[in-house]
């Protein structure tokens, strides 16, 4: 089973600040997917196939990476971006999620 | 419009069997896979298992001995059965479908307690 390690676990960013969340895989994966989850709601697809934004996701978000290292970046933090973000790999079964990064607004 | 909705008992006693239903609309179970994902309160997401468009299944190895996923395509429903429930199985259970986990239900909280 591929283990995904996200960092940081928790962070706070000021409006306008650039944010980067990292997801490292214990073995190489072909793609990484990202989900946004706000309290009391189900996860929302956010970035798929490493770098493609899901429908409705603002273009201040981007995804990148390859092999064992992937990242989600917000170019300019906004209050509505406060949430928990999870990475997911489906290249190898079973699918596995990262432990999540809780992003707060300062 | 694709919708998934989970249903089932909110409370299950330890050692008993959990039965959940995911009712799908807007897409065909014979063309799409459906996965179950769970989330213990305040914790992260865990893949539980899946039923594929052809009807075959895959399970989380840690749960495999207690888990069964099936479906009724005529009713657009997917079923999860997990036996020998323990307090550690307390979680919100989500069903998700479509490519890349594109669509999610709202989740159903299952509490294992006497």
For A81-96, what is each residue's pLDDT tens digit? Answer: 999 999 999 999 899 9
Query: Would you say residue B100 has pLDDT above 90?
Result: no
In B66-105, the residues whose Cβ lies within 8 Å of chain A are: 94, 100-102, 104-105
For A94-106, what is each residue's pLDDT tens digit? Answer: 999 999 999 999 9
Whether the CA torsion B6, A39, A36, A55 is positive or negative: it is positive
Q: Is B28 exposed, middle or buried (0-12, 13-18, 19+ CB in 10 A)?
A: exposed
Residue B96 confidence class, pLDDT cut points 50, 70, 90:
very high
Quote the mean pLDDT of chain A.
97
Chain A residues near any Cβ of chain B (below 8 Å): 1, 33, 35, 41-45, 48-49, 54, 86, 88, 90, 93-100
Which chain B residues contact residue A48 at CB under 8 A? 100
For B20-79, what is each residue's pLDDT tens digit? Answer: 999 999 989 999 999 999 999 999 999 999 999 999 999 999 999 999 999 999 999 999
Backbone angles phi, psi at B56, to 5 degrees: -75, 160
Query: Would you say residue B15 has pLDDT above 80?
Result: yes
Minimal CA–CA distance to A35: which of A96, A76, A88, A79? Answer: A88
Span B98-104, mean pLDDT?
Answer: 88
In the structure encoding, which two tokens stand for residue B61, read together?
A: 């190895």
Which chain B residues contact residue A96 at CB under 8 A? 47
Which chain B residues contact residue A39 at CB under 8 A? none
Minimal CA–CA distance to A23: which of A42, A9, A43, A41? Answer: A9
For A11-49, what is each residue's pLDDT tens digit? Answer: 999 999 999 999 999 999 999 999 999 999 999 999 999
């Amino acid at each position: 089973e591929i283990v995904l390690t996200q960092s940081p676990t928790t962070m706070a960013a000021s409006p306008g600040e650039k944010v980067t969340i990292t997801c490292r895989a214990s073995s190489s994966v072909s793609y990484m997917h990202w989900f946004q989850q706000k309290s009391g709601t189900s996860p929302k697809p956010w970035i798929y196939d490493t770098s493609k934004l899901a429908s409705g996701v603002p273009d201040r978000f981007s995804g990148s990476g390859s092999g064992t290292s992937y990242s989600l970046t917000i170019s300019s933090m906004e209050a509505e971006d406060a949430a928990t973000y999870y990475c997911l790999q489906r290249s190898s079964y079973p699918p596995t999620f990262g432990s999540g990064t809780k992003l707060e607004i300062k | 419009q694709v919708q998934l909705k989970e249903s089932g008992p909110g409370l299950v006693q330890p050692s008993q069997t959990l039965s959940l239903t995911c009712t799908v609309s807007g897409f065909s179970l014979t063309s799409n896979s459906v996965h179950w994902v769970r989330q213990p309160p305040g914790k992260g997401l865990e893949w539980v298992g899946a039923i594929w468009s052809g009807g075959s299944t895959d399970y989380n190895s840690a749960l495999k001995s207690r888990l069964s996923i099936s479906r009724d395509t005529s009713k657009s429903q997917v079923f999860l059965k997990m036996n020998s429930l323990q307090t550690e199985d307390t979680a919100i259970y989500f069903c998700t479908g479509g490519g890349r986990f594109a669509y999610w239900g709202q989740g159903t909280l299952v509490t294992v307690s006497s």
